[in-house]
Every structure is written in structure tokens, then in C-alpha cells.
């Protein structure tokens, strides 16, 4: 009978949850006054309620994360704080009527000296290559051209290994990657890195086989090497577009541009021009005469001179804008790269850039971000995988995936591991090797692992101290092995950790609520007597009233007299605070339990 009532209570709870009011999203930097205006609430009443709940705030303070639960309870509406970039994106995508096609942003990637900058030089009919020190591109350059009346924006990323971080940044803002491979040199280590970065970003790859004018050119060998990297060209029955060019002799450049145009038309790349401007900082520098400058590619909206903006932890006002040739602009439309003057300080490359209503709004958003950063003692980062905690990965998916980057001492070891490790995959968990190569673990490997949420496996190779520091900053796990059976054993354990564990409820004890206390800065405290078993701090709990479950959650605080304790046994009194639940009554029963997980 009790089980039946509990089942009915769970159904009622589920129904109530399904009918729960939708959360109300406020933008970061919103003040209590602005919230009151949005919801038509009296500011005085709200501040009095918050003061009664133990918060010392005033009407002009910025709403921060730690006050949300109490604030939501007071206004009877679930609240969430959204970043301004998320708000703008949601606004842009929700208004389908205003979605229009925009020019593609194309990133040129590939191995050093394979002709990336020479290709752009041929496209733009300028002479950039000779101005670069040593013939190697030293920064990200963004350039706009028009082909048959259709604009295309190109990003030239560095090809040298030392600039992997810039290359990765280029892939984050692009719609199409043009992978330049020299016909006489073939697929090289940085070619493989470029492929891996483009795949991690989910960007379509268009191959340009360059230097076909050279006597040593071997097109079939290059195409075969590309197929081994997962790029099977259309000529061989695949879906990767391939164009054979000579950037030096300007041969087949029109055909390459035609393919870029056709691919972008098929992709239907769209934007919304009616929302506040949003883009990405490609590079930033401090000019000794003009102050902080940043190159930004606009992705949404139209950026206009005079607008206030935020970017990471910087704010400012667009004092002036210039195109790639240094010409002043009054406004920048989607896919247009511009150099902006007016930053309060030099922003971080890769930061998002958003136009806001005014400088006051910008200041409030930056204040919120700095406060949040200070409390967390570091920038918020997505949780990364570790071999010890893989069971946390995407529990909603029916088939899980373990992405790996393999580094080994010699090519033979790489090939052996690439053959052996995927065979450990099971019906429930698939191992995906996203990149494998020889040599020491590099910063490029760490950046790719960070972008792909992957783990780096090193076999008979090293990770220099500097690289380990980068991995720590990026929250990337590196595992080094010298014995192959230890590597295999750890992966098997990791795969077992990814399997869906069985959950088993373990009963702990019961406590009867005999008194209720309202304590400032603490909230509602249940004065209880433990009638059976024991009560543990942080254990799961359900509140039972008249044989019906009215709450299931967690014990947030457990006290005996005035002392916080971890456990209270049968026959003792205690004070219990439940997590996010205050609607308790004298006579309610608090039942404590824990959930144990057993691997199948």
C-alpha cells in the first residue's frame, strides 16, 4: 500500500514538474531595479524580502548567481542568468523572418610553405607574401574579395608549428576551410593538424592541391594520403571537393573560387542583421600612438561607429573602424573583418565581441563578469574528461564516445596503437582516435584535445613541463605510458566507467519534525528527532506528509545543538536544512537515503 502511494506521489511530482513554469532569463549585468521594471514589481518590496532572507543588497546592485535561488523563490518564478552572446544568438535565431544569407568566411589552412599566403596573394592580386618575415605569416590576416559580384572573406592562418594557437582560433570563426596541400610535398604533420582542427570545429573542408606546376608533383599520391586522413575526394567516390591549382602561376584560381561560392550556396549560411552586432576578436595589439586595437569579424547584426561594446573583460566604444587596407568605415556588416579603435584595454584573441545599448550597460556586464571570475578564481571552463571520471560524459546519449589523441615515439608504435585501441570499443562505448602522430606532445595537441574534449595518450614519449602547464590551464588530461598492457588496462577500466551503472537506493533512517525555526541568513530549519537509523549530511532525503512524498532532494545542513555534524543517530535531536525546500510542517517525516551505483 505504501509503495502504491509512493508511486502515485512520484507521478504527481512528475506531473507538477512537467507543469512547472518556464524559467525567466535575465541578461548578465541586470540590476534589481531593471528586473523590477521588467516584471512590474515594486523595488522596495523586493529589497525588503531579500533583506529578510539575509541578503544585504540595494536596488542598483547587479544580480549575481548566488542570489538566484532566493530571488526565484521570492518572485515565484525560476530565474536564470544568460550571457549577452547567448541572448543575442537566441534572439537572432528565433526571428526566422529576419534571417538572410551572408558571405562565407573561409579559412586557409595547411603545412608551412605549402603556399597558403601565396594563394591569397593570387586571389587578392596583392603582394603580401614578400612582406612577411621569412616568408611565413606571423599573424592572422582577414581579407575580403568579390568574385562575380559575391563577397568572400578569407582568413590566412599561420602555417608554422609555433602558431598553432592562432590556427585553432581561425577555425573557430570560419564557415569553410580551404586545406592547401603541396603536390610535391604531400600530407605533412601540420596538414594532419589542420584537418584535425577543422573536423573538431565541424567545418567542411575543401582541398586545394597546390604547386601542380612543379615537376615533382604527384597528385595521386597526395589524394591517397588524404584518403587515409578521412578526406576522400569526389573524383574517387567521396564527398570532399578538390581543386588542383598553381598559386604561383595563378592557375585554376577561378575554379577554386567557383567551388567556394557553390559550397556556400549549398550550405545556406545565414545571419540576422536586425540584432545587436556580435563577432569574434581575431587578433589584438597595443598601438603606441592609438592605444588598444583589435581585428574583429562581425557574425551577427551590423556594427556602427559610436556604439558601446563588451569583449571578454574589456569594454569600450567604437571610436573608429578600418578595413584590411586601412580605409575608415562607418559600419561593418556580417562577415566583414574590421580593425576597431576604442577598447579600454587589449582584449584576448578569441573573445566574443558584442555591441550593447550604452556604456552604462557595458560597465554593468563587465562588473558582473569580473565578480563571477573572482568568485571562481579563474575563468569558467567546460568540464573535461579524465580516465577516472568518464562515466560523467553525456549520459543522455545511447552510444557514448571516448575521443583520444595518440602520440608515440615512432610511426610503428602509432600504427600499432591505432589498430589495437579501436578494437577495445564495445556496443555501448566507441573509441574515436581524432589525431595520431609521432614525437613529443605539443601545444597543438593540447589545444585540439581541449576543443574536442579528448584525452591525450602518450606512449614512450614526453610532455615537456611547459606543455603540462598548458594542459593544466586547458583542463586537458595527459596519460603517459611505457608498457602497452598498462595502457590497454586503463582504457578498459575507463570504458567500464562509461557504461551506464545500475542505481540502488540504500535506506539510512528517519527523523520526525517536531519544531520549525526561521533563522536569519540560514532560512527554515527543521527541529527533528531521529526515530530510526541515522541521518547523514549531504544524503538524499524525502519529506513524507500523510503518507505522501511532497519533496525529494538533499540535506544541505545537519546540526546538533549549535555544531555542524556529518551524522546523527537514532535517539538524538538535530536541526536539518533541506536544499531549496522550506514548505515543511510539524509532524512531517524526513527519510534519508543514498544512491549506490553498481557497474553492469
What per-residue confidence (pLDDT) applies to 159?
46
Report yes or no on 16 lying in a domain: no
* 456 and 406 belong to one structural domain: yes
Using CA of residue 517, residue 518, residue 520, residue 523, what is the dihedral sign? Answer: positive
Question: In CATH, what number is assigned to the domain containing residue 469?
Answer: 3.40.50.10050
Q: Which residues contact 202 (CB under 8 A, 6 or more apart)?
A: none
* 281 and 346 belong to one structural domain: yes
Report yes or no on 77 lying in a domain: yes
Report yes or no on 207 lying in a domain: yes
- Domain range for 332 is 277-376
CB atoms closer than 10 angstroms to residue 301: 24
* 301 and 424 belong to one structural domain: no
**Closest-CA residue to 371 (of 32, 29, 53, 4):** 29
* 187 and 210 belong to one structural domain: yes
CB atoms closer than 10 angstroms to residue 313: 16
What's the grid cell of residue 271?
545571419
Going by DSSP bridges, is the β-strand pair 337-343/291-300 parallel, antiparallel, or unpaired? antiparallel
Gap between the Cα atoms of 515 and 535, Å rounded: 17
What per-residue confidence (pLDDT) applies to 172?
65
Q: Are 178 and 115 in contact (CB under 8 A)?
A: no
What's the whole-number average pLDDT of the chain?
82
What's the grid cell of residue 384?
573535461
CB atoms closer than 10 angstroms to residue 117: 25
E-assigned strand segments in 288-336: 291-300, 303-304, 308-311, 314-322, 328-329, 331-332
* 229 and 327 belong to one structural domain: no
DSSP string computed for 416-437: HHHHHGGGG--SSEEEEEEEEE
Q: Which residues contact 167 (CB under 8 A, 6 or more apart)?
A: 109, 157, 158, 159, 193, 194, 197
CB atoms closer than 10 angstroms to residue 412: 10
* 147 and 255 belong to one structural domain: yes
Q: Are 600 and 499 in contact (CB under 8 A)?
A: yes
Phi (first) and psi of residue 36, to 5 degrees: -60, -40
Per-residue pLDDT 10s for the chain (600 aa) are 444 444 454 444 444 444 455 677 888 889 989 988 988 889 888 888 888 888 888 898 898 888 888 888 888 888 888 888 787 777 777 777 889 999 999 988 888 788 888 898 888 774 444 444 444 444 446 888 889 889 999 987 654 343 345 445 454 688 999 999 999 999 988 888 888 878 877 789 999 999 999 989 999 999 999 999 999 999 898 999 999 999 999 999 999 999 999 999 999 999 999 999 999 888 888 887 888 888 899 999 999 999 999 998 899 999 999 988 888 999 999 999 999 999 998 887 778 899 999 999 999 999 888 888 776 654 444 456 565 555 455 444 444 778 899 998 877 778 778 888 888 887 777 888 989 888 889 888 888 888 888 899 998 888 887 888 888 888 888 888 887 878 888 888 777 655 445 566 788 999 999 999 888 877 899 999 999 999 998 899 999 888 788 888 999 899 988 888 889 999 999 999 998 888 899 999 999 988 876 544
* 44 and 149 belong to one structural domain: no
What per-residue confidence (pLDDT) applies to 376?
61
Report yes or no on 461 lying in a domain: yes
* 572 and 446 belong to one structural domain: no
**Closest-CA residue to 575 (of 554, 591, 560):** 560
Report yes or no on 208 lying in a domain: yes
Crossing angle of helices 253-267 and 116-124, in 10° steps, is 90
**CA distances for 347 relative to 142, 290, 344, 456, 531, angstroms:** 18, 15, 9, 30, 60
Residue after which a domain boundary falls, among 498, 518, 549: 498
Residue after which a domain boundary falls, among 376, 400, 424: 376
Q: What is the model's pTM?
A: 0.62
Residue after which a domain boundary falls, among 458, 476, 498: 498
* 51 and 140 belong to one structural domain: no
Phi (first) and psi of residue 597, to 5 degrees: -110, 130
pLDDT in tens, 326-371: 889 999 999 999 999 999 988 877 788 999 999 999 999 998 888 8
* 360 and 444 belong to one structural domain: no
Question: In CATH, what number is assigned to the domain containing residue 560?
Answer: 2.40.30.10
Question: In CATH, what number is assigned to the domain containing residue 186?
Answer: 3.40.50.300
Report yes or no on 89 lying in a domain: no
**Closest-CA residue to 277 (of 308, 312, 319):** 308
Report yes or no on 351 lying in a domain: yes
* Domain total of the chain: 5
Gap between the Cα atoms of 559 and 50, Å rounded: 25
Report yes or no on 15 lying in a domain: no
What per-residue confidence (pLDDT) applies to 447?
86
Crossing angle of helices 68-75 and 43-52, in 10° steps, is 120
pLDDT in tens, 574-586: 999 998 888 899 9
**CA distances for 109 relative to 21, 113, 139, 331, 574, angstroms:** 48, 11, 13, 29, 65
* 538 and 561 belong to one structural domain: yes
3-state secondary structure of 108: strand
* 527 and 580 belong to one structural domain: yes
Amino acid at each position: 500500500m505504501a509503495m502504491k502511494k509512493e508511486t502515485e506521489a512520484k507521478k504527481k511530482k512528475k506531473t507538477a514538474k512537467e507543469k512547472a513554469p518556464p524559467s525567466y532569463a535575465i541578461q548578465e549585468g541586470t540590476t534589481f531595479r531593471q528586473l523590477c521594471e521588467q516584471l512590474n514589481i515594486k523595488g522596495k518590496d523586493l529589497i525588503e524580502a531579500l533583506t529578510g532572507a539575509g541578503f544585504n543588497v540595494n536596488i542598483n546592485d547587479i544580480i549575481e548567481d548566488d542570489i538566484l535561488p532566493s530571488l526565484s523563490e521570492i518572485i515565484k518564478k525560476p530565474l536564470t542568468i544568460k550571457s549577452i552572446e547567448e541572448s543575442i544568438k537566441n534572439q537572432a535565431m528565433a526571428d526566422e523572418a529576419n534571417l538572410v544569407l551572408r558571405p562565407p568566411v573561409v579559412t586557409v589552412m595547411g603545412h608551412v610553405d605549402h603556399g597558403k599566403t601565396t594563394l591569397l596573394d593570387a586571389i587578392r592580386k596583392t603582394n603580401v607574401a614578400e612582406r612577411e618575415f621569412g616568408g611565413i605569416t606571423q599573424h592572422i590576416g582577414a581579407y575580403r574579395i568579390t568574385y562575380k559580384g559575391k563577397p568572400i572573406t578569407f582568413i590566412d592562418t599561420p602555417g608554422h608549428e609555433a602558431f598553432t594557437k592562432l590556427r585553432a582560433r581561425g577555425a573557430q570563426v570560419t564557415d569553410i576551410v580551404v586545406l592547401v596541400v603541396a603536390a610535391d610535398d604531400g600530407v605533412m604533420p601540420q596538414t594532419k593538424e589542420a584537418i584535425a582542427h577543422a573536423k573538431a570545429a565541424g567545418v567542411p573542408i575543401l582541398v586545394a592541391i597546390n604547386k601542380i606546376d612543379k615537376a615533382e608533383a604527384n597528385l595521386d599520391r597526395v589524394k591517397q594520403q588524404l584518403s587515409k586522413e578521412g578526406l576522400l575526394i569526389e573524383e574517387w567516390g567521396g564527398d570532399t571537393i578538390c581543386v588542383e591549382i598553381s598559386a604561383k602561376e595563378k592557375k585554376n584560381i577561378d575554379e577554386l573560387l567557383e567551388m567556394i561560392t557553390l559550397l556556400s550556396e549549398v550550405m545556406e549560411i545565414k545571419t540576422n542583421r536586425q540584432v545587436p552586432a556580435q563577432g569574434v576578436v581575431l587578433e589584438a595589439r597595443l598601438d603606441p600612438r592609438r592605444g588598444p586595437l583589435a581585428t574583429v569579424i562581425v557574425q551577427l547584426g551590423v556594427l556602427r561607429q559610436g556604439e558601446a561594446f563588451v569583449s571578454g573583460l574589456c569594454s569600450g566604444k567604437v571610436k573608429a573602424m578600418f578595413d584590411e587596407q586601412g580605409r575608415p568605415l562607418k559600419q561593418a556588416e556580417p562577415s566583414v573583418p574590421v580593425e576597431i579603435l576604442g577598447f579600454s584595454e587589449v582584449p584576448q584573441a578569441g573573445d566574443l565581441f558584442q555591441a550593447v545599448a550604452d556604456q552604462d550597460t557595458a560597465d554593468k556586464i563587465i562588473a558582473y563578469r569580473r565578480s563571477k571570475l573572482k568568485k571562481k578564481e579563474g575563468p569558467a571552463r567546460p568540464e573535461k574528461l579524465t580516465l577516472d571520471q568518464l562515466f560523467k560524459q553525456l549520459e543522455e546519449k545511447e552510444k557514448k564516445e571516448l575521443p583520444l589523441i595518440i602520440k608515440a615515439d615512432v610511426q610503428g608504435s602509432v600504427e600499432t596503437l591505432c589498430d589495437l585501441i579501436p578494437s577495445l570499443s564495445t556496443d555501448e562505448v566507441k573509441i574515436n582516435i581524432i589525431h595520431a602522430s609521432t614525437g613529443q606532445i605539443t601545444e597543438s595537441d593540447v589545444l585540439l584535445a581541449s576543443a574536442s574534449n579528448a584525452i591525450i595518450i602518450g606512449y614512450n614519449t614526453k610532455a615537456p613541463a611547459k606543455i603540462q602547464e598548458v594542459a593544466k590551464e586547458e583542463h586537458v588530461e595527459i596519460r603517459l605510458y611505457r608498457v602497452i598492457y598498462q595502457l590497454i588496462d586503463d582504457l578498459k577500466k575507463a570504458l567500464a566507467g562509461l557504461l551506464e551503472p545500475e542505481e540502488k537506493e540504500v535506506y539510512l533512517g528517519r527523523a520526525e519534525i517536531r519544531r520549525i525555526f526561521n533563522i536569519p541568513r540560514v532560512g527554515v530549519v527543521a527541529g527533528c528527532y531521529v526515530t530510526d537509523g541515522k541521518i547523514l549530511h549531504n544524503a538524499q532525503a524525502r519529506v513524507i506528509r500523510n503518507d505522501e512524498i511532497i519533496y525529494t532532494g538533499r540535506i544541505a545542513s545537519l546540526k546538533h545543538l549549535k555544531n555542524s555534524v556529518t551524522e546523527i543517530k537514532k535517539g538524538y535531536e538535530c536541526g536539518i536544512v533541506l536544499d531549496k525546500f522550506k514548505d515543511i510542517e510539524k509532524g512531517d517525516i524526513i527519510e534519508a537515503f543514498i544512491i549506490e551505483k553498481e557497474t553492469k
